[in-house]
Every structure is written in structure tokens, then in C-alpha cells.
Structure 1
Amino acid sequence: MERVDLNPPAGIVGRRADAYAAAPLLNCLLREVAEPLPDADGRPAYRLPGTGRLLRVRPGRRPADPELYAAGAWHRLGHTELVKLVAEELRRRTGLAGGDLPAEMIDSRDAVAALLTARTRASAPEDPYLRSEQSLITGHPCHPAPKARGGGPVAAWLPYAPEAHARFPLVLLGVREDQVAEEGDTRALDALGTAPPGYRLLPAHPWQLGLVADGLAPAFADGRLVRIGTTAFDTWPTAAIRTVYEPRRDLFLKFSLDVRITNDIRRLWRHDLLELRRTDAAATGAFAAMGGPAAWLSDRGYRTAAFAFEELAVLVRDGLRGHLRGGATPLLAAGLAEGFEGSPLAAASDPQAWWEAYLRQVVPPALTAFGDHGVVVEAHLQNTLVAVDRAGTPVQALFRDAEGAKLLADVSRAAGWERLVYCLVVNHLGEIAAALAEHHPGFDPWPAARRELARHDLPEIPALLAAPTLPGKTNLLLRWTDADGAAARYLPLPNPLLGG
């Protein structure tokens, strides 16, 4: 882990923020738009077909130091210039202006700068699980604006940012009993405080409450809502930002957040909540039938106010303790990919053995849920926890987020399989494999991945292993064209499993 300067000059912070923000944007540009050319002076070079411009970068899973060819020489691009280059290229390519995306890309870089500064004054959690959840300064490695926070002032969101090692109490509201809307098991909410007679307890995320305060004023005025205070304890925001964890109570709560994070406004939408119990029940049943060690963290119920159904919704999720193997430590897969102090991936002395153990825990439950139970688990990096034993060896996988899961009863098998391959293989295994190879130059992780996949008798597996390409999500073009975040679009990427 890099040493942190406790008082870094603004110029150093700016350069680090540029580098953090440029890497995922370059990943998108090179994946979705650019045409590779022969190396320029030993560095990968690309042609941007819309403008005809030439670009080169320092290669790696986090490409860096972009340079543009002009007037017979290569010229270094800062993040602002890179955003301008990308915007002009996409305007030529699509004929569209790009809406808010150019501003989001700048906002994402500025958010990184604020986070880097805040981290010099904050202490990372001692708990390795929380540390892994709060480690994601880069975030989504293939998104043009992974750290954008809705364009709001830093002071509005920084106190609630996991990347700044935030912790904070929740606001406690009372909802008049005749205005409560809920489904499933929400008993954990009633233990957070005491509601006045005639009211039910409803916790609220402080950031979300500030965003929707004007719309709630009439409900406070006529008594449908009352303010009770705050929780007597802090909660820790996880990588999902709007999902918090309270370790002593082993309680996860997921809130609406009227802010665009990556591709979507992160509300708990009514239609998703109304489908939630059905999807969660299917996933819970699928993992129960497997008999362990893999586990599903159930989204077991929601509560909200009928007059602000989406704005004030809160989802109760299973904690960890009832699912974890004895002595195991859960870690966020995305944190393993990005890196954090104490990461067992970075410390693995035998990458082959560690990787084979990782594959044994992560791959079979996702494929079994699909093949035997018709559940498409969204097994990407931020929805998967990997528990390790005291030696750092993976011994269990835990999956979460019924909102992102799909049922084959609702989508075609082909569409479900494509989504699973993207989430599990491209997004998840691809990043962990690259991180492991980065720590162990010369190590090839893909033969073991091929062997693990080949052990399963799904009819789609032979075609997956023989396919020249895999589906890669086009987050840059998706955001540029302002498509719905759920309307995933894919382009073909070289299949590293081929012939491994």
C-alpha cells in the first residue's frame, strides 16, 4: 500500500486525482471506440476514428499518461484535455452532444481529489471487511465517471463517502401508522429507537433526507412525518454508498439516493421493491439448496412512507454472522481487485493455489443458481464478498443484491447467460485475474479459470470456452447516449478463456 503524505501539496493531489480519473475513462475509450495501431515508441497507440487523432498510453489494467499526436510530436494530456478529446470524438461518432456526461467526468475527477484530501485526515477502519468496502478510490474500472456525485457541493456528500472512511448516525423519523408501506421482515428497524405512539420508526440516510427535504415539508407540517432524532450509534457506508453496515448489530440497510452513481439514479424504485420479495425468495431458495458454503445475503424486507414510497424507502438486508464460516473474514471482491492494506490477494505467495481456491468458491454457486434454479445472480465485484481463512485462502463466497438479480422466468435464457458471463467472467474474474497477474508477473490465471468452468455441465459452457469473444459492457456509449442503465449494451472483447 502506498505511503500517504499527511499534508500533500495541492499540485500532488491534483496529479494523483488526474491519474485515478483518467484510468477508467481510458479503459472505456480504448475498449469501446479506439482502433489499435502498431506501438509508438514502444507504447500502445490508437486511432480515434471520429476525429482521426492519434493517442498513445502507458499500458496496463489501469492505462496512464495519455498523449496526443499533434504537429509532429506527442503531447501529454491532463484529465480536462482528455475529457475534451473524448467528448469531441463521441460527438463525431454519434452525432449526439452527450448530455451531462462531460460534466460528470469532470465531477468524478474533482470528487477523487476531495477524497484523496479527506483520506489524509481520516483513519481506515481496523476491521478488514470495512476496510475492503471503503477502499475504492478508482471504483468501476471501465466507467467514464465512476466517482461522480451528482454535481453537488463536496460538503453535501463527503461526510457520507465510504472512500473517505466516513461513519455517521442515521436520522430517525416517525411515520404515522396509517401511512406506513412495508413488506417482508422489517423488525430490525423497530430496534433502532423508539417511535411516538401512533407512529412507526423509519431510519433515513442524512444525505438523501437533505436531497428530498423540500418535498417532505408538507408531511412534516401535517404530522404524517415527525423527527425523532438520530441513532445512538454510527453506521459505516459500504462501497455501494447508499448501503450502510452497523457491525455490532450485524445489520445492513439500503436506502434510496437521488444521485446518479455510475449509470443510474440510485433510488429504490417502486417496481423493483414490489418484485423484490419474489426475486429474493428465489435466490434464498437456490443457495439454501446448495447446502453451503456459498451464501446469499437476503434482502428480507422494506419499509417506507406511502406518500414518499421511493424517496424514503429502506431495505433490510441479512447480516454476515449467520452465514459466515467459523473463523473466516469476509472481504469485498472489488476491494481485492483495487487493493487495500492487508489484502490477501497482494500477500498470496502461491498465486496458483490462491486463485484455484478463489475460483472454487465463486464460480460454482453462480453457475448452479443459473443452471439449477433459474436465478441470474449479479455476481460482479461489488456484489460479491469472498471470505478467507486465517492464512488468507478463500473459503467461501457470499452474494448480495436481489435488486440486481434476474429470474429466467422473466428473461430469456440467452439474455440471462450473457448477463451472467459479463458480471462473473468479464467484470469479476477478469479484474481479479489481472490484479493477481500484476502482483505476480508471468502468472497466467486463465487456464485454471477454464478448468473450473469446464467442470460444470451447463450446455452453454462449451460455447463459452470456444468463443473468440466475450461480452463487454459499453458504459461510455451507454452514458453518452443517455440510455437506461438497465439497458446493457455489449461489444465483443477477446476471450482470455480461449485455448487456455
Structure 2
Amino acid sequence: MERVDLIPPAGGADAVAPGDVADPADTYAAAPLLNCLLREVARPLPGRDGVHRLPGTERLLRVRGGRRPTAPEVYTPHGWQRLGHAELVKLVTEELRRHTGLSNHELPAEMSDSRDAVAAVLAARARATPPDDPYLRSEQSLITGHPHHPAPKARGGGPVAGWLPYAPEAYARFPLVLLGVREDTVVEEGDTSALDALGEPPPGYRLLPAHPWQLDLTARALAPAFADGRLIRLGTTTDPVHPTAAIRTVYAPERDLFLKFSLDVRITNDVRRLWRHDLLELRRTDAATSRALADGPAAWLSDRGYRTAGFAFEELAVLVRDGLRGHLLPDATPYLAAGLVEGFTGSPLDGPTDPARWWEAYLRHMVPPVLAAFADHGVVLEAHLQNSLVACDAAGTPVQALFRDAEGVKLLPDVERAAGWERLVYCLVVNHLVELAEALAERHPGLDPWPAVRRELARHDLPEIAGLLTAPTLPAKTNLLLRWTGADGADARYRPLPNPLAEG
């Protein structure tokens, strides 16, 4: 694309007409990619709402909307030119190549894959029936997905038929494959007894459920084990499971059980295997987190244990996680926090007659357990939107927070306190509270959500709180640059983001 240095006039005949509506898949897929570009690379043009300069190419980009940018346009000698998703990917690719001095052939393909996955999901949802359970609806609502990732819906570039039957966004439900693993090859730790209730293996074997998508992905690697009898197929589970927002974690409502599997697919920043080093740390991390959340109404969905085969340790690993019912307060209904931000039928975020009081109740239950775990136990919860649930009473008022996923938990002093605090602030404040505050304010114009957040944080006696409330910036993870430069997904890099908590 040619460089254009002139500054365009405001408004004018070149503005996009209100009826010029983009393809829905383009719109969904462009929003998180634009969020990344605007946060990590672009520079706002002073006095021009929605207009940004791209420093690498010196192009001018204009967008509309707030937390979900829409209608991207680039300025040309002929005026503003609307960009479809394919053109936006080309623009971003050229900008990042100039901006970083590096090339990347994988990420543009993932951006396109993410858009195509959205299109497939939208088509599937149009002919599917959403679950009756409002909790499952919240888990399966994430069409946009991570709001600040360039390719949140990429599915490894595989054919749609390979992954769509297992996509939570398509309201999928499916049986698990039951395998028998020869007893002398089984590796397990912790409480895995729930797996034994799923079926009856023959003598000399132990039961191991498997995700059918993962079996397809690893078919060639596992063929020798099936051939020599280390693995046998035992049919499928009698009841279907429902994939949650995490895709590889499924919920079995009849058994009130979560199971997490490996998936040899890159989803957002990582290939989603249950890595050996994480599994070997599981019991220690889970025990520390269970102690940290033992008191009070907040609950931890414990990762009780794992089972796998020694010859395919990571490929066939399955992690057993607590269900919901033993932790929920009476008559409370759980919802995924990320679902509240995305929106779904029956969301409590749409219903409060007093949104300020609803928000205060949400903060009162969500914030204290995260801060207390850090201050009193040295546990850094990964309390981002997809790992946090809120339970509401019959009126839709928050009454309890629930947290999950020991894999993302960090412990002090394994990480330095400053690094742990930065991660906590990113997960809880930037990834979680900022997104939910903006979604609530969007639904209820005139609501200022930040005084309530400041009051809630100020109640807690942590030395870091004063700095959090006065710092001009917050740490925002740079997912676009992280993926473009090929950094490891766990190697979080942060960019300063204006701090809405800082008054004045």
C-alpha cells in the first residue's frame, strides 16, 4: 500500500454511509484485531476522534465504535477506503513488518483462519439450538472471544469439519471416546476416581476418556499403541459433554464434572497441550490455591488430579476438575464472566434496574478473594474473564465468585512479588474489570463504573494498592506483537495503558 502523508478533512462526502454494513464474520473478526493494533502499535491523531497513524507505514486508519471497533478505513489519495477483513490483514502485516523489522508468515494465516472460523460458527449457530442452562449459554457465547488477540478464533488451519463438531460457540455437545489403557502404562496423580465411573474396562486395563478431536489429531502417533494392545477402544460415554469457552475443557452436567484435555492445536498464543511440567506441578499449585480460597463465599474449582498413559503422557492426559454444585451457594446460578462481556440471552448484565448496585455487588465478591490470596498466601490467581465465574441470586444480583484453572496460577516466591503483582493487575483489572466495566457502561449510558472500583480496591491493605490507584498507566499484554515476534505464549510482555483508576 502506498504511503499517504496528508491529513484528511473531518467528515465530508467520503464518510461511510450508515447502511454500508460489512460482512458479519468480518465485523466479529476485525474487532479484536483492531483492538490489538490500536493498543500496541497505532498512535491516535490529536483532535481527530477515531483516526490513528500507523508509525511503520505512516498510513492513517479510521475506526468507529468503542470497545469493539468497527468499519476500519484507510486514507488514500481518493479519500477513505473501507477495509474488509482480508484487506485489514494485509494492512496489519505490512505495518508490523515495517514496525518491527521482522517477517511472520504464520500469523496472517491465523488471522484469516480466525475469520473463517467465525463465519463457520455463525452459520452453525443459525441452525442450532442454544442450551437451556444459562450457565452453558454463557460458556458457549464467545463468538468474538479474546477482545485483544489478533486471531482469537483460529483453529489450527484445519478443515471446518474437523473442529466444528466440538466448538462451544456452535452449541456443540458430543460423547467422549472411552479408551482402555494397559495398567502397567498408566500414570496418574491425585484423585482421578471420577474417571472410573465413566465405563467398565476389561481386566488388565484402566479407563481413560479422550477428546475425539485430539484422537483425530494424534491418530498417526497413537497407531502403534492401538496395534500392540497398549490402547483399546471401549465405545463412548453414555451422556454427552458440553465444551466450555476453553474448548478443550468440557462439562458433564449429569455428573457435575469438568474434564480438561490436551489439544494439539494452537489456540490464541499456545498449543493447548497439558504439558508435562504443568501436570507435575499441579498438586502443589492446586493445594496452595485451595487453601487460599478456603474461607469465605468465594470458591475454587479444584483440579483434583490427572491420568494419562506413560507412552503418550501429554497427548492423552486428562485432568479432573471439581464440578459446580458442591461449591455454589443455595439457589445461585453461575455465569462465565467472559460471557457477560460478550452477551447472551438471559445475561444478568442486561437486567439490573440499578446497575450501580449490581456493579458494587460484583466487585464486592470478585475482588477481595483475589487480593487476599495474593496478600495472605502468595497465590497469584489468573483471574481473567475466562477463568472467573460469578454466581447470582434469583434477582440476578452477584452473590459469589468462583475461580478455576491451576495451570495459570503462579506462586510466590516462584515468581518475584513485583512480577506476580503485575500479572494479577493485568488479569484482574485490565483483562477482567476494564472489559466488564466498559460492557456495563455501554448497556447503561451515564454510569461511571470507576469510583466503585476505586472504593473496593482502597478497602484492602496491600502496599501495592496506593500505587495502583495513582499510577498513570496499567500493564496491558501485547498479544499482537508477542505473536508476531514469535515469543512464547507464557512470555508475557506488557505495554502501558491509560489507567482509568487514576483520578484527574
Aligned to 2:445: 441
| SS of alignment partner, residue 258 of structure 1 | coil
Q: Among 468, 471, 487, which residue is 2:472 paired with?
A: 468
Query: Where do 4+ consecutive residues of structure 1 move more than 4 Å?
Result: none
- The Cα RMSD (Å) is 1.1
Structure 2 residue 415 is the aligned partner of structure 1 residue 411: yes
Deviations along 1:56-113, one digit per CA (max 9) or x if unpaired, are 0003100000010001411100000000000000000111112310000000000000
Distance 1:342 1:278 in 2: 38
Deviations along 1:15-45, one digit per CA (max 9) or x if unpaired, are 00000000000000000000100354xx410
Q: Among 239, 243, 248, which residue is 1:237 paired with?
A: 243
Which has the higher mean CA deviation after the structures are superposed, 71-80 or 16-25?
A: 71-80
1:257·1:265 contact (CA, 8 Å) conserved in 2? yes
Aligned to 1:311: 315
Aligned to 2:280: 274
Distance 2:181 2:83 in 1: 53
What is the Cα deviation at residue 352 of structure 1? 0.5
Distance 2:284 2:275 in 1: 15
Q: Among 107, 129, 135, which residue is 1:101 paired with?
A: 107
Aligned to 1:25: 33
Map 1:387-426; keep pairs closer than 5 Å: 387-426=391-430
Distance 2:434 2:364 in 1: 15
Distance 1:155 1:419 in 2: 37
Aligned to 1:81: 87
Number of aligned residue pairs: 485
Deviations along 1:133-186, one digit per CA (max 9) or x if unpaired, are 000000000000000000000000000000000000000000000000000000
What is the Cα deviation at residue 409 of structure 1? 2.2
| SS of alignment partner, residue 38 of structure 1 | coil
Aligned to 2:6: none
What is the Cα deviation at residue 376 of structure 1? 0.3
1:25·1:145 contact (CA, 8 Å) conserved in 2? yes
Q: Among 337, 340, 347, which residue is 2:341 paired with?
A: 337
Q: Among 281, 297, 301, which residue is 1:297 paired with?
A: 301
1:38·1:44 contact (CA, 8 Å) conserved in 2? no
Partner AA of 2:145 in structure 1: G
Identity of aligned residues (%): 79
Aligned to 2:148: 142
Aligned to 1:59: 65
Distance 2:96 2:407 in 1: 31
Note closer, same or farther for the CA distance 1:35–1:13 as it changes in structure 2 (3 Å cut): closer
Partner AA of 1:104 in structure 2: E
Deviations along 1:209-265, one digit per CA (max 9) or x if unpaired, are 000010011111111111111001100000000000011100000000000010000
Q: Among 473, 477, 492, which residue is 2:496 paired with?
A: 492
| SS of alignment partner, residue 312 of structure 2 | coil
Aligned to 2:457: 453
Distance 1:293 1:406 in 2: 22
Distance 1:75 1:349 in 2: 42
Distance 2:217 2:429 in 1: 37
TM-score by length of 1: 0.96
What is the Cα deviation at residue 346 of structure 1? 1.2
Structure 2 residue 371 is the aligned partner of structure 1 residue 367: yes
Aligned to 1:324: 328
Distance 2:97 2:458 in 1: 43
Distance 1:425 1:400 in 2: 17
Distance 2:416 2:183 in 1: 41
| SS of alignment partner, residue 441 of structure 2 | helix
Distance 1:403 1:469 in 2: 28
Partner AA of 2:366 in structure 1: V
Structure 2 residue 226 is the aligned partner of structure 1 residue 203: no
Map 1:130-279; keep pairs closer than 5 Å: 130-279=136-285
Note closer, same or farther for the CA distance 1:13–1:278 as it changes in structure 2 (3 Å cut): farther
| SS of alignment partner, residue 428 of structure 2 | helix
Distance 2:287 2:22 in 1: 47
Aligned to 1:3: none
1:99·1:482 contact (CA, 8 Å) conserved in 2? no
Q: Among 123, 129, 134, which residue is 2:129 paired with?
A: 123
Distance 1:435 1:94 in 2: 33
